[in-house]
Chains A and B, each alone.
Chain A
Amino acid sequence: MKALYTIISLLWLLSCVLSCKKETKEIPYQPTPYEIDIPFGFPTKLNIPENNPMTVEGVELGRYLFYDGRLSGRTHPDSLMSCATCHRQERSFEAGIDHPDFPGGFPHGLTGLQTHHVMLPMINLVWNSTGYGWNGFLYPDNPDPQLRNLEDFVRLAVLASDEMDGDTTRIKNLFQSLNGYPELFEKAFGSSQITFTHIEKAIAQFIRTLISADSRFDKYMRGELQLSPSELNGYVLFTTEEGADCFHCHGGFGNPLFTTHLYYNDGKDTLFTDPMDRFSITGDPMDIGAYKATTMRNIELQGPYMHDGRFETLDDVIDFYSTAVVNSPSISPLMHHVANGGVRLTPTEREDLLSFIRTLRDDSFLTNPNFNKPEHFPDEE
């Protein structure tokens, strides 16, 4: 009886030890939440999908993928293409008019096909909840669940024949074979088995960290510096109906995103032939010839301007809004100066307005080391 008791006790002890061992063997998936600091005056509501919460590990992985030319699914030096091929940090994550491979700032894909529209800046997109793209074809409550958010934009860019012309299976297999990447996926998403969904999510997380909120105007808003008289007069022009009247669409102190992320026909044309304007999404005749109002942040680096890149310089843009606005049935009601052809700025006013717009350049964003190309990719370390 005593022996039986001893055996039972030993078995019980053994089972305890084994169960403890089992517990310590499983490392739970616990990524570190990535907290976004809301800059002064910025919206507190963020566009972060519930199924893709921001994590430090996800953002780190996303940054590698954003810059890795093998995202095209190819390894030959002539066939590499990453997000950063077009989205250059020094140009506020646009191509910029001085892009070495895209003359005039008109990007084309690996196949040589030019994109339908020029690029939009890739900044402060975590605050964009109304739609991505010039016509807003990606929006959160789109009936098509494949066309809703930044994650979908990543996939579309990879697949598009005028961009990477890629194949998702080939891409995920390629990254699966690269040393270091499976471990980063494990840390970010709890599995070293790479899926294209995780690739989309990681890149989208990185893009959501691209926040520009430290321009000279931001410092002025925070009371850290004073603007020059010309810059201040430019701001008054920017925010008055009798001045340049930019603020209703492009924000200001009360809307520091410097865009509404909404769509306007701003009076560029009288004939409309673009099959990819806002009307193509909504079917609303008032959206004919309407496109997204771009953010004015870093705008001096983002030429060429307008959806079709028709203006090379900011001077050209100001000239247009000053004297060349034309009427059409779908012109935005906010373009109330159309009867005069525009806002009719004097040469001094033009200069002052330009001076103010230049205060929206955020040099610390353009050189932020957290946003630039990593020194090494995971398989090179």
Chain B
Amino acid sequence: MFLIKINITLFTLIGILVVSGCTSKTETPESTTGKLTLHFDHEIEQAPIVFDTMRYTNAAGNKYLVNEIQYFISDVTLHHTDGRKIPLDAWEDIHYVDTDLPDTHDYLFKDEIEPGDYTRLSFTFGINEVKNQTLMFVNPPESFMFWPDNLGGGYHYMKLNGKWLNPSNQVVPFDFHLGIGQIYYSYPDSITSFVQNYFTVELPQSAFSITANQTTNIELVMQVENWFQSPNLYDHNTWGGDIMQNQEAMILGVKNGWDVFKVKNINTK
């Protein structure tokens, strides 16, 4: 009888343990972190781009149209109010955006982000020299962005393809391509050094908060006309249709890139 009592007690205890174990497995702990997404839009004169249509005039007076824009941003960094810089690189630290591919317009970070207030975010336009290695992207569409090794290797930072009306009144293509520049001893055969043209984009008007268990979405807009106007006036009639081998032209674009991106909206859901 004593043994039976022990068995009953034992089974009861085991049962309680099993049940409590099951209960704890089904409970989802409250998240203590938040998420962030970036969304990229592309505008000219504060309106969505009307592609393939000759309707824009840049600061240099060139009438132009845009066919497509493809680019990389990388090393997105959050700036906490306490001064810390928090890189978002848990999963994807280089992101490709293509105006023809809507899926690329959203950059979804997998990082678990500490809740709190952040003064701004910043990112690299292009890819830094450590990461920008040939064949690191073998699949399209990223692989189609490769920058020939003889010109510095790695990948285009950006292809902005369009057409402009030249002085002969002809509509002719321009390929505003940014990437690693070259310094020539004797153009175009003798390259003495390469120039890393990637640059940091700071978004001063991008204060935002991260809330536990919520996703903060920051909508960014590329204001395309800014590539051509400030601080350098970029004239297609001067620089022609291609600039991959023209550091003098590329650097104008690079210097103009500081205010190309703006924060359009921030929301949390």
Contact = CB atoms under 8 A, between A and B. Distances in A.
A242 to B, nearest CB: 5
Contacts of B163: 333
Contact of B171 (A240, A248, A252, A327): A327
A336 B148 contact: no
A247 B143 contact: no
Interface in A14-48: 41-45
B146 A254 contact: yes
Contact of B144 (A45, A243, A255): A255
Interface stretch (B37-45, B213-221, B239-247): B239-247
A286 B67 contact: yes
B174 interface: yes
Contacts of B135: 41, 253-254
B138 interface: yes
B237 to A, nearest CB: 11
Interface string A281-297: 00001100000000000
Contact of B148 (A254, A286, A331, A332): A254
B139 A43 contact: yes
Nearest to A245: B242
A254 B147 contact: yes
A366 interface: no
Interface in B128-167: 134-135, 138-140, 143-144, 146-151, 155, 161-163, 166
Interface in B164-216: 166, 168, 170-175, 177, 188
B173 A332 contact: yes
A334 interface: yes
A338 interface: yes
A4 interface: no
B139 A44 contact: yes
A241 B175 CA distance: 10
B92 interface: no
A335 B170 CA distance: 14
A239 interface: yes
A285 B135 CA distance: 34
A338 B164 CA distance: 13
B52 interface: yes
Q: How large is the interface on B (under 10, 10 to 19, 20 to 34, 35 or more residues)?
A: 35 or more
Among B138, B149, B171, the one with the most A-chain Cβ atoms within 10 Å of its Cβ is B138
Interface string A188-204: 00000000000000000
A292 B139 CA distance: 18
Given A44-B138, A285-B52, A334 B150 contact: no
Contact of A337 (B150, B170, B241): B241
Nearest to B175: A336
Contacts of A331: 173
A255 B174 contact: no
A168 interface: no
Interface centre among B140, B161, B240 (most CB of A within 10 A): B140
A260 B177 CA distance: 18
Contacts of B170: 327, 339
Interface in A245-281: 245, 247-248, 251-255, 260-262
Nearest to A335: B173
Nearest to A232: B150
B151 A333 contact: no
B173 A253 contact: no
B134 A334 contact: no
Contacts of A243: 188
A329 interface: yes
B138 A41 contact: yes
Contacts of B243: 241
B189 to A, nearest CB: 8
B54 to A, nearest CB: 9
Given A333-B175, A336-B174, 19 more contacts: A41-B138, A44-B139, A45-B139, A236-B150, A239-B148, A239-B150, A240-B244, A240-B245, A248-B175, A253-B148, A254-B149, A255-B146, A260-B140, A286-B52, A286-B67, A331-B173, A332-B173, A333-B161, A334-B161
Interface of A: 41-45, 129-130, 235-236, 239-243, 245, 247-248, 251-255, 260-262, 285-286, 327, 329, 331-339
18 contacts: A44-B138, A45-B139, A240-B151, A240-B244, A241-B175, A241-B177, A242-B188, A252-B146, A254-B135, A254-B146, A254-B147, A327-B170, A331-B173, A333-B67, A333-B68, A336-B174, A336-B241, A339-B241
8 closest Cβ contacts across the A-B interface? A254-B146, A336-B241, A239-B148, A333-B161, A241-B242, A333-B173, A336-B173, A43-B139
